[in-house]
Amino acid sequence: QDPEIILQVTDNHGHHHLLGTHTERHFRSFVRDYGKEYPTREEYVRRLGIFAENLVRAAEHQALDPTAVHGITPFSDLSAEEFEAMYLGVRGGGGGAQLANGVRGTAEEMEVEG
Amino acid sequence: LPESFDWREKGAVTEVKIQGTCGSCWAFSTTGTIEGANYIATGKLLNLSEQQLVDCDHTCDAKDKTACNNGCSGGLMTNAYKYLIDAGGIEEEDSYPYTGKRGDCKFNPEKAAVKVVNFTNVPIDEKQIAAHLVHHGPLAVGLNAVFMQTYIGGVSCPLICGKRWVNHGVLLVGYGSKGFSILRLGNQPYWIIKNSWGQRWGEHGYYHLCRGRGMCGMNTMVSAVMTQTS
């Protein structure tokens, strides 16, 4: 193997078809509005691809969540995995059980009727 | 219980903060509930330090030893309360400012502005959550944030949202009885939730989530603190 040869292993090239499209115009507005900067052209294209996927995802969320408004947000250039890694941070919440860390159970119930 | 309630109107909530690209939501949720409890106890709203928790808190849950606080890699609010009780308090934001990166612990007990003496989980019944909110101040909450990446506004009430995959820490500050629905599919009661992604996200930094259905697991990880007044 020649160490000088760097192989493309991601699918960046698959997003080139988005260049010059209506989606890219949206993406440019997004980049301008949120002051986004990408170090290389390849990264720009990659983020454009994720942005396009997130537009589809926002439409899906809108269908599933009709009383809210879903669309372009500051996180529209992040994959779901990147978003979770960068902006979410509760660990150990998968069981649904309340972790008490030494305190005795749960607060007493209060009167809530009337 | 009042039909609607909002701790922001009563001055118990600091401005919306920005956690940056750091999984420290648990720290913001923790400081939010302590800021509220301290306000109710003293009448003073202090802006407390998340960075102290990010840098210094490595507490693990007493039962689940794998659930440990780990700076920008995540944590739990109940672990943070335990740390603060043991450490002797929490500094103000000005004395221990947020950087969004984990660094060496620089906590100085002499600069502690608020001391935590106890904490508790809150029952999962949403009327109970409302009662504890009204009586004890803003509550730390964990929820499934899957719909929050694309949320812009309105009342979020997804048809499907996993209740068991709680992955984000936020602050419950109030509730409303009739949420605005842009598609006019009906008004509905909702929770007012403070987030830590800045004011340019959501409803000026807040998330409105429908109330009464345990939506996105918001009722499964609710906690409150008691602070010490000198």
Residue A100 is nearest to which of B19, B78, B183, comparing CB atoms? B78
Asked if residue A15 has pLDDT above 90, the reply is no
The answer, for B221 touching chain A at a CB cutoff of 8 Å, is yes
Q: pLDDT tens digits for B151-180?
A: 999 999 999 998 888 999 999 999 998 766
Rounded mean pLDDT, B70-82: 95
Note whether B167 contacts A: Cβ–Cβ < 8 A. yes
Query: In chain B, whose CA is at the least distance from the CA of A105?
Result: B121
3-state DSSP assignment of residue B65 = coil
Q: Which residues are CB-neighbours of B175 under 8 A, at least 6 positions away? A: B4, B5, B6, B130, B133, B189, B190, B191, B192, B211
Evaluate the CA torsion angle A29, A33, A39, A44 in order and state its sign: negative
3-state secondary structure of B162: coil
The answer to whether residue B183 scores a pLDDT higher than 60 is no
Is the pLDDT at A93 greater than 60? The verdict is no
Residues from chain B that touch A84, judged by Cβ atoms under 8 A, are: 167
Q: By three-state DSSP, how is residue A73 classified?
A: coil
% residues pLDDT > 90 (chain B)? 88
How many other β-carbons are positioned within 10 Å of the β-carbon of residue B135? 11
**Would strands A68-70 and B168-176 be described as parallel, antiparallel, or unpaired?**
unpaired
Nearest-CA residue of chain A relative to B145? A88
Q: B35 with B28: CB under 8 angstroms?
A: no
User: pLDDT of B18-50, one tens digit each?
Assistant: 999 999 999 999 999 999 999 999 999 999 999
In chain A, what is the greatest distance between 2 CA atoms, to the nearest angstrom? 78
Query: CB distance B183–A66 less than 8 Å?
Result: yes
Nearest Cα of chain B lies from the Cα of A82 at a distance, in angstroms, of: 10
pLDDT at A96: 45
| Radius of gyration in angstroms for the set of CA atoms belonging to chain A, rounded to a whole number | 21
What mean pLDDT value characterizes chain B? 94
Tell me which residue of B26, B143, B23 sits closest to A82, measured CA to CA.
B23
